[in-house]
Amino acid sequence: MKLELGNFYVKEICFGDNTSLKDGILTVNKEEALAVVKEDEHITEAELYIVSPGDRVRLVPVKEAIEPRYRVGGGPVFPGVTGDLMQAGNGTTYALKDMSVLVVGRHYGGFQDGLIDMSGEGAKYTYYSQLKNLVLVADTDEIFEQKEQQKKNRALRWAGMRLAEYIGAAVKDLTPDEVETFELEPITKRSKELNELPSVVLVLQPQSQMEEGGYNDLNYGWDTNRMLPTFMHPNEVLDGAMISGSFMPCSSKWSTYDFQNFPMIRRLYKEHGKTINFLGVIMSNLNVALEQKDRAALFVAQMAKTLGADSAVVAEEGYGNPDADFTGCIVALENAGIKTVGLTNECTGRDGASQPLVSLDEKEDAIVSCGNVSTLIRLPKMETVLGELESLARDGLSGGWSNDEILGASVKEDGSIIMENNAMFCGDQVVGWSVKRMVEF
């Protein structure tokens, strides 16, 4: 399987008469773009904004981030989701780099929604402050979700994907600035030299805990709660097979943009043939019942052993209950003789004194921490807010609250805020973007 990503680097975004890319300047016809958004009758209001690094802008509640792309030769950017089912990870896809489409709600922030600051102290907590962003701020008539802590955000999320496809089509007839090639030899056809290198498999545990449909990450449109651990080519992940869901406190989430650009996959590719033999990806799942967790761990370990893995990297999306899946998977791999490194965040409480993971085992002796979800963050008033700042001040938004007997409300009268890291949009970046550092005391 061979994937060619043709990259177009975006230096600036502006609105104009025709949606096009020239000399790094992306021009967007706002009227046409909003028409694409409003193809869903559930979208009741929508507006587009442009924000860039350094802007005095705060965005909340942020629902999703997507990289604009175009599939050369036809077909949806997200097979099984925005169009017919087809093979991802093979062929050529064009990508607009250094930018994203951000989807922001209006009045109904929920458990899984987050915050982005484009400048100041808050900008360092999220990767998306570094990008040029086309921001869709929209509201819907999905009444059944408006008072729920947990929302599916379907209309908004799908509108973001349609918008990203519309923007991506602007480069369909252009020549990329560069082409990246991602290709792995079939496992049984690899050279003697490659097979002598340490073999590594990447185990991903996307969010899949909700038994009701509409919340979980999707694999080719397939609800990941319904799947068993599945061997996938890494190109599929990079090429639109995986879609972010609408479940998890936001700092723990993997956005669709994260899947499209998964840094750990790119890093393993970089080392392939040099220091390691990269076997591929085992896409696992996260369940609630202990028996389901144990079953998934056994499947992962058997699959990795059968593939001939010497070592594994395991990454979980989320924390708390999923820690048991994460721990169980690592232990099962270690029991199979496969040396394993785990990537995760922690929930050690606001004072940092609590147990970092719900489930621990002495065989978990190589864990990379991406930070504490409960860390308190204080940020000054921002000049402009896109969305609705008050959404952070509701107990339904994880990491924000309406009142605390010591700290008061998350949103202060002067517009400054206090919140837990939980509410920072994709802030922990277990996928590999993280710029956090450990400090030894």
- Is the pLDDT at 438 greater than 80? The verdict is no
Q: What is the pLDDT of residues 210-245, one digit of tens each?
A: 999 999 999 999 999 999 999 999 999 999 999 999
Domain assignment present for 174: yes
Domain assignment present for 429: no
pLDDT at 109: 86
Confidence of residue 351 (pLDDT cuts 50, 70, 90): confident
pLDDT at 145: 81
Q: Which of 346, 198, 173, 218 lies closest to 268, judged by CA?
A: 198
Q: What is the pLDDT of residues 139-159, one digit of tens each?
A: 999 888 887 889 999 999 999
Three-state SS across the chain? CEEEEEEEECCEEEECCCCEEECCEEEECHHHHHHHHCCCCCEEEEEEEEECCCCCEEEEEEEEEECCEEECCCCCCCECCCECCCCCCCEEEEEEECEEEEEECCCCCCCCCEEEECCCHHHHHCHHHHCEEEEEEEEECCHHHHCCCCCCCHHHHHHHHHHHHHHHHHHCCCCCCEEEEEECCCHHHCCHHHHCCCEEEEEEECCCCCCCCCCCCEECCEEHHHCCCEEECHHHHHCCCEECCCCCCHHHCCCHHHHHCCHHHHHHHHHECCCEEEEEEEECCCCCCHHHHHHHHHHHHHHHHHHCCCEEEEEECCCCCHHHHHHHHHHHHHHCCCEEEEEEEECCCCCCCCCCCCCCCCCCCCEEEEEECCCEEEECCCCEEEECHHHHHCCCCCCCCCCCCCCCCCECCCCCEEEEHHHECCCCCCCCCCCCCCCCC
Instruction: Kindly give the pairing relationship between strand 132-140 and strand 99-104.
Output: parallel
State residue 317 phi and psi, 5-degree precision: -95, 105
Q: What is the pLDDT of residues 394-423, one digit of tens each?
A: 888 999 999 999 999 999 999 999 999 999
How much is the average pLDDT of 87-99?
Answer: 98
Which residues form the domain of 18?
A: 2-423
How much is the average pLDDT of 41-56?
Answer: 97
What is the maximum alpha-carbon separation in the chain? 67
- The number of angstroms, rounded, from the C-alpha of 376 to the middle of its chain's C-alpha atoms is 22
Domain assignment present for 439: no
Q: Helix 30-37 to helix 154-168 angle, to the nearest 10 degrees?
A: 140
The answer to whether residues 332 and 309 touch, using CB atoms and an 8 Å cutoff, is no
Domain assignment present for 326: yes
Averaged pLDDT of the chain: 95
Confidence of residue 441 (pLDDT cuts 50, 70, 90): low
Percent residues over pLDDT 90 in the chain? 91
User: Which amino acid appears at position 419 of this protein?
Assistant: M
Q: Domain tally for the chain?
A: 1
pLDDT at 93: 98
Question: Rounded to an integer, what distance in angstroms lies between the CA atom of residue 226 and that of residue 69?
Answer: 28
pLDDT at 144: 80
Domain assignment present for 224: yes
Domain assignment present for 133: yes
Q: Which two tokens stand for residue 214?
A: 């509409």
Q: Which two tokens stand for residue 20?
A: 């096009």
Cα dihedral: 80, 268, 205, 322 (round 10): -150
How much is the average pLDDT of 38-47?
Answer: 97
User: Which amino acid appears at position 2 of this protein?
Assistant: K
Confidence of residue 437 (pLDDT cuts 50, 70, 90): confident
pLDDT at 410: 97
∠ Cα 109 113 114 (to 5°): 110
Q: What is the pLDDT of residues 109-121, one digit of tens each?
A: 899 999 999 999 9
Domain assignment present for 435: no
- Is the pLDDT at 24 greater than 90? The verdict is yes
